[in-house]
Amino acid sequence: MRMESLPIFMRIKGARCVVIGGGEVATRKVTMLLKADAAIEVIAPALCDALKEQALACEIKHVQAIFDASQLAGATLVVAATDDEAVNTAVSIAAKAQNIPVNVVDAPALCTFTMPSIVDRSPVVIAISSNGAAPVLARLIRAKLETMIPASYGRLAYLARDFRDAVKAKFADTQSRRIFWEKTFQGPIAELMFSGQERAAKLALADAIEADDSQAQHGEVYLVGGGPGDPDLLTFRALRLMQQCDVCVYDKLVSKEVMELVRRDAELINVGKARDQHTLPQEEINLLLVKLAKEGKRVLRLKGGDPFIFGRGGEEIETLMENGVPFQVVPGITAANGVSSYAGIPLTHRDYAQSCVFTTGHLKAKEGQPHSVELDWPALTRPNQTVVIYMGLVGLEQICTQLVKHGLDASTPAAVVQQGTTSKQKVVVGDLSNLAAKVATAELKPPCLIIVGHVVKLREKLAWFEPSLN
């Protein structure tokens, strides 16, 4: 998804900023501009009490006049904050004609920039904007961030600034410096700052710079489950590691939305792993992880779903262990859990299923024979259970036929879910006799999950997630 606006922080200290309007709305804009040390000129026939006080205190300059386009000459930016739509429109036109950035309160179409909600932990500043679509939502997000980010984060930033040259002199390359700072910001030094022990934090940071050896940095692999697609389903730990990796080795099944949360400047390596389309064979992926880690890099191995459920994560960490490479494993919500939940199909239910079986429906080839699905059919046709089949879309017709052949009734409910948990989710429900035909008509595309069992009947009652497919 493309951004409607590019977030930019503008230095306006001492710059002439013009506000048109003298009421309460103008006051709010003036207050924000004052925080940035702007030279503020308010143009209005009259001022509200709050602005009068600021004018008397010489915090702002008041020009008692109605708006005229010539008043904008030389301005760095302009804010229109009157209750007169015609005046606000005239301000917008005049500012644009003079190539001056302009904000018109409550009129996004007339703006060239918007004033965001701000979390101020100076020098750390976080801006939240909805591009005028939902300012109340932006303020609610700001309120949440206010509670999550201690005020002392600003002091931590100043501490880092004071030691920046020393760290640069100690560590020759960018990667070593980045790792050092990440350890600092997530360790005891940061905690000292948060608890108000600034002097102790400075001493500890100086000691850390002297003690740390840039050549002693070791690589590590983070084996992370990216979940079924919705980025909201990621764990906190997954997000943290995704943000501190140097390189990301990812599969095709990882959603675009999840990939957007990987650190922006991390190297991205696509190893494919779609059906019959592996960019690299599994053995080469295993060795690639070893190679990258031994280069001193923090390697994010990002997989769709859970790494240990049909993700071949076990094979990868075996190779890492054999080569002495340190690693972490972060579980993810597997497709069976996430997709079935978003489809409104509980995998177990005391009236329908007391157990659940996960299997994979890959087509396999035998010499001289057509491709076939080879599964433990008797185990999959036991009563009172739900069967979840990964990667079975291509072999769906065979799967349905074999399940009936081995004992399930042809009327057994079944469903196929396409790209579950995402905006492209699509669910086709039928039974073993007609599911393949229905799926063919619907033209479903991988990745898809097959769910077989009487729990599928509950979807009619429990379906809650119906995304728009526009």
Whether 216 shows a pLDDT value over 60: the answer reads no
Whether 468 shows a pLDDT value over 80: the answer reads no
Whether 331 shows a pLDDT value over 90: the answer reads yes
**Does 404 fall in a domain?**
yes
Instruction: Give the model's pLDDT for residue 217.
Output: 56
Percent of the chain, pLDDT > 70? 94
**Does 147 fall in a domain?**
no
Indicate the pLDDT class of residue 358, thresholds 50, 70 and 90. Answer: very high
Whether 470 shows a pLDDT value over 50: the answer reads no
Chosen domain end from 314, 333, 352: 333
CA dist., res. 122 & res. 394, Å (int): 55
Which position has the higher pLDDT, 149 or 88? 88
Percent of the chain, pLDDT > 90? 74
**Does 33 fall in a domain?**
yes
Average pLDDT in the 393-399 region? 93
373-384 pLDDT per residue, tens: 889 999 999 999
159 shares its domain with 177: yes
Average pLDDT in the 102-130 region? 92
Range of the domain at 103: 16-115
Whether 365 shows a pLDDT value over 90: the answer reads no
Average pLDDT in the 307-328 region? 93
Whether 352 shows a pLDDT value over 90: the answer reads yes
* List of residues 6+ apart from 94 with CB closer than 8 A: 69, 72
Whether 300 shows a pLDDT value over 80: the answer reads yes
Which position has the higher pLDDT, 27 or 144? 27
54-101 pLDDT per residue, tens: 999 999 999 999 999 999 999 999 999 999 999 999 999 999 999 999
Instruction: Give the model's pLDDT for residue 214.
Output: 47
**Does 232 fall in a domain?**
yes
Instruction: Give the model's pLDDT for residue 368.
Output: 58
Whether 229 shows a pLDDT value over 50: the answer reads yes
CA–CA distances in Å: residue 57 to residues 20, 50, 62: 19, 11, 11
Query: Residue 420 sits in a domain of what CATH number?
Result: 3.30.950.10
Query: Residue 38 sits in a domain of what CATH number?
Result: 3.40.50.720
Q: Which residues of 333-360 are buried (b: 16+ CB within 10 A; e: fewer)?
A: bbbbbbbbbbbbbbbebeebbeebbbbe
- Which range has highest mean pLDDT (212-216, 250-254, 364-368)? 250-254
Active site residue 265: no
5-64 pLDDT per residue, tens: 899 999 999 999 999 999 999 999 999 999 999 999 999 999 999 999 999 999 999 999
227 shares its domain with 283: yes
| Token couple for 67 | 């708006």
Cβ 431 vs Cβ 413: under 8 Å: yes
Active site residue 376: no
CA dist., res. 251 & res. 255, Å (int): 9
359 shares its domain with 451: yes
**Does 157 fall in a domain?**
yes
Whether 284 shows a pLDDT value over 80: the answer reads yes
CA dist., res. 326 & res. 323, Å (int): 9
321 shares its domain with 355: no
Whether 213 shows a pLDDT value over 70: the answer reads no
Instruction: Give the model's pLDDT for residue 215.
Output: 44
Query: Residue 229 sits in a domain of what CATH number?
Result: 3.40.1010.10
Give the total number of structural domains in the chain: 4
361 shares its domain with 409: yes
Question: What's the chain's average pLDDT?
Answer: 91
Whether 282 shows a pLDDT value over 50: the answer reads yes
Instruction: Give the model's pLDDT for residue 367.
Output: 60
**Does 87 fall in a domain?**
yes
Residue 241: name the closest of 221, 256, 227, 212 by CA: 221
Which residue in 230, 246, 251, 431 is the catalytic one?
A: 251
Instruction: Give the model's pLDDT for residue 369.
Output: 59
* List of residues 6+ apart from 48 with CB closer than 8 A: 22, 23, 24, 26, 27
271 shares its domain with 329: yes
98 shares its domain with 182: no
Chosen domain end from 333, 362, 385: 333
Cα atoms found within 13 Å of the Cα of residue 386, Cβ hemisphere only: 26
Indicate the pLDDT class of residue 273, thresholds 50, 70 and 90. Answer: low
Indicate the pLDDT class of residue 179, thresholds 50, 70 and 90. Answer: confident
Instruction: Give the model's pLDDT for residue 275.
Output: 52
Which residue in 29, 230, 273, 297 is the catalytic one?
A: 273
347 shares its domain with 447: yes
**Does 386 fall in a domain?**
yes
Which position has the higher pLDDT, 233 or 311? 233
Tell me the H-state helices in 16-152. 24-35, 49-56, 85-97, 135-148
229 shares its domain with 312: yes
Average pLDDT in the 173-196 region? 85
107 shares its domain with 50: yes
Chosen domain end from 291, 312, 333: 333
| Token couple for 262 | 């990987």
- Which range has highest mean pLDDT (121-130, 180-189, 340-349)? 340-349
